[in-house]
Amino acid sequence: MKILIVEDEKGLAESITEYLSREGFVCEVANTFWQADEKISLYQYDCTIVDLTLPDGNGFDIIQTLKKIAAATGIIIISARNTLEDKLKGLEIGSDDYMTKPFHLSELNARVKSLIRRRNFGGNNDMTWKDIRVNLPARKVFIRDIETALSRKEYDLLLYFLSNIDVALTKESIAEHLWGDNMDSADSLDMVYSHIKNLRRKIVEKGGKDYIQSIYGIGYKFTAP
Amino acid sequence: MKLLEKASRIYLLASLLIYLAVGIAFFWIIKFMIYDEVESRLMVEKQDFETYIRTNDTWSNNSYFVENKIEVVPVFGKVDNRVTFTDTLIRNRYEESADPFRQLTFHTLIGGSPYRVAIRKSMIESYKLIEAISVAMVAFLGLLLVSTFLFHRVLSGKLWKPFYDSLSRIKEFDWTKNKPLETVRSEITEFNELGDVMEKMASKMQHDYRSLREFTENASHEIQTPLALINARVEQFIQSKDLGETHTYWIEEIYHAARRMSRLNQGLLLLAKIENQQFTEQEEIDLSELALNKLKDFEDILQHKEIILSVQSTASFRKVMSPALAEILLTNLINNAVRHNYTGGELRLESGNDYVQVSNTGNPLKSDPERLFERFKKESAGAESLGLGLAIVKQICDSYDLQISYHYDEPMHLIRIAAK
């Protein structure tokens, strides 16, 4: 899976590259508009992550070119601009997702994976890890092939974990993934705790192992014990 | 009052006064001249009479054909030497009416005895003349008044047209758009100068607005990008296996501080954008319906905090405003009501056709309720609260002419947003 990262802030581009490479993606970086323009005309990518504000051009133009020459590429915008107009414009010209800076790398990773899944299999597939199987279109979860009823948020939480196996996730990134940006309070962290507790209980009840590992002070990691 | 109407009124009033004064003066002048003429003729007749008396030393009324022309009456006692002019009415011989006469009275000696002599001249013709002249004058002045008034109206309407056209264009001018202001050119230098000045001001406004907008966008970008970098680096850092407890504590603190700063920056930028009127998109929004929709986002947390929710919506509260700001307004209000609520508390949403009211249980305010909507006013010292939520709500209300009020009715805190 090849990913192009168009981002002028070198440190951020590096972080994204490192993070996504760990997940098995092949990443390339373009720091300027012209580099990006050259790369998209020469190579094919499964997904492109585009920053809108570039020193020598506008990310929207890159997206428009991409749509013309490689319509199958998934596009995720990462921008510091959080106006509704920018978001609407981004979606209008064919991007698949819009993330406002600062974002969580784990969230970006989850979105890239979900985008590639949707593109490659038309969203019609199963996701399997160890003894957990998730039927995505039906939103059904099977643990050791036994169907397990999860609440909506527990399902979202499990999917987020499955997209970030072996990765330390902060409580904040989980809270934001589940409830969005505008629910930042001590309460939402409490809620994360209780949802994690329930999910852990449900997995163990059906004979699964306890995959959710707590990391003191930071958050959780979904990993084989 | 419109300029043209005001000018017409002043013009009408002034010319009426002037014409009236002119008319009266003219009338008196004519009257004076006619009297002068009549009196000098009476003086001539007096001389004729005296010459006649001197040569004949006698007078007979018969010798004068016209009745009442000269009346000679003998007087006794003291003789007055004064010569006086008087107006008098004399009965007409043929008709039952009294005619006006001018009469010259003097005393003289005829045949050695004193007589009072009155010589008269009919004024009937002169009066008719004055009447005719006056009527003609009033008619002409009236005609003049009406015609100049109409002329003045049409002329000023034509002259001021470019001004009014420009005015309507200025009214339609929107500095948030890119379309420049174009005033109407005319032959009149002052209007063109005014147009030039307005155009210059308008383009300056557009320019300032654009640069302000760009500044806020760039500032946002410049600050959010390094914060994104800190965030990303922290996330990478926590992946390492051998983190000590102190390390995780530090890193957690850095992560928190960066996120707080990012939120603070976003909040302040939002306030600046509302102040600069950068949310230009407008549509009619049902605030009560939107509030109900927003409550759905809070379902989980309400359940988690065991907050009892009650909704009482009697009518839809319609308001033309930016959809983005309407969402922020209600999200912040509900967020506030949830955050400062306690477990097992209550949240009430009420709405009618001109208000939305969110009320929640909570501990009484420690600070002055007057300052509740100020920036960085925090009830709890909790790090999660920025103290911008209600300030943003207030700013949105101010920019859309909505009235916001706070009321504490133990144990409920009520915040009400109502149409003014």
Give me the pLDDT at residue B241, please.
Answer: 78
**Which is nearest to B256 in space by CA: B230, B278, B294?**
B230
pLDDT digits (tens, 9 = 90+) for B257-269: 888 888 888 888 8
Q: Report B:295-354 residues touching A (Cβ under 8 A).
A: 297-298, 300-301, 304-305, 323-324, 331, 335, 338-339
Average pLDDT over residues B154-161: 88
Res. B66 pLDDT band, cuts 50 70 90: low
In order along its 225 residues, chain A shows pLDDT tens digits of 899 999 999 999 999 999 999 888 999 999 999 999 999 999 999 999 999 888 888 899 999 999 888 778 899 999 888 777 788 899 999 899 999 888 999 999 999 998 988 887 665 678 888 889 998 888 899 998 899 999 999 999 999 999 999 999 999 899 989 888 766 667 788 889 999 999 999 999 888 888 999 988 889 999 988
* Smallest Cα distance from B13 to chain A, Å: 59
E strand residue ranges, B333-399:
346-352, 355-361
Q: Which of A148-157, B197-206, B358-367, B378-387 has the lowest average pLDDT?
A: B378-387
Give me the pLDDT at residue B247, please.
86
pLDDT score at B128: 87
What share of chain B in percent tops pLDDT 70?
96
Cα–Cα distance, B288 to B355 (Å, whole number): 8
Lowest mean pLDDT among A19-28, B141-150, B360-369: B360-369
- Name B116's Cβ contacts closer than 8 Å, sequence gap at least 6: B72, B73, B74, B75, B105, B106, B107
Contact of B242 with chain A, judged by CB distance below 8 Å, is answered with: no
Query: pLDDT tens, B376-418?
Result: 877 665 556 778 888 999 999 999 999 999 999 888 999 999 9
Rounded mean pLDDT of B216-227?
83
B231 Cβ neighbours under 8 A, 6+ residues apart: A102, A103, A104, A105, B255, B258, B259, B262
Q: pTM here?
A: 0.69
pLDDT(B123) > 60: yes
Answer whether B233's CB lies under 8 Å from A13's CB.
Answer: no
Which residue in B228, B251, B255 is closest to A12 by CB distance? Answer: B228
3-state percent helix, strand, coil for chain B, nearest multiple of 5: 55, 20, 25
Query: Is this complex's ipTM strictly greater than 0.85?
Result: yes
The answer to whether the beta carbons of residues A102 and A95 sit under 8 Å apart is: no
Q: CA-CA distances (angstroms) from residue A81 to A31, A63, A90, B162, B359?
A: 18, 16, 11, 43, 33
State the CB neighbour count (10 A cutoff) for residue A142: 16
Edge-to-edge strand list for the sheet holding B84-91? B70-74, B113-122, B98-110, B84-91
pLDDT grade for B74, boundaries at 50, 70 and 90: confident
Q: How far is CA A57 from CA A32, A54, A91, A98, A114, in A?
A: 8, 5, 19, 19, 29
Number of alpha helices (DSSP H) and beta strands (DSSP E) in chain A: 8, 14
Cα B97 to Cα B89: distance, rounded to the nearest angstrom: 9
Q: Is the N-terminal amide bond of A102 cis, ω within 30° of 0? A: yes
Q: Say whether residue A207 is in contact with chain B using an 8 A CB cutoff.
A: no
CA distance B83 to B263: 110
Closest Cα of chain B to A101: distance in Å?
A: 6
| Chain B contact present for A181, CB below 8 A | no
Q: Which tens digits make up the pLDDT trace of B296-319?
A: 888 888 888 899 999 998 888 999
Task: Please report residues of A whose CB lies closer than 8 A to that of B224.
Answer: 80, 100-102
Query: Taking residues B2-7, what's their average pLDDT?
Result: 85
Q: Inform me whether the pLDDT recorded for B67 exceeds 70.
A: no
Per the CB < 8 A criterion, the answer to whether B307 and B344 are in contact is yes
**Does residue B198 carry a pLDDT above 60?**
yes
Distance in angstroms (rounded) separating the CA atoms of residues A16 and A3: 10
User: What pLDDT is attached to residue B68?
Assistant: 58
CB-CB contact of B153 with B8 (8 Å) = yes
Instruction: Identify which of B249, B262, B304 has the shortest CB distance to residue A191.
Output: B304
Chain A within 8 Å of B248 (Cβ-Cβ)?
Answer: yes
Which of A:143-172 have CB within 8 Å of B? 153, 167-168, 170, 172
**Which whole number is the average pLDDT over B8-15?**
89
Phi and psi angles of residue B170, each rounded to the nearest 5 degrees, phi first = -65, -40
How far is the C-alpha of A63 from the C-alpha of A75, rounded, in Å? 8
Q: Is the CB of A9 less than 8 angstroms away from the CB of B229?
A: yes
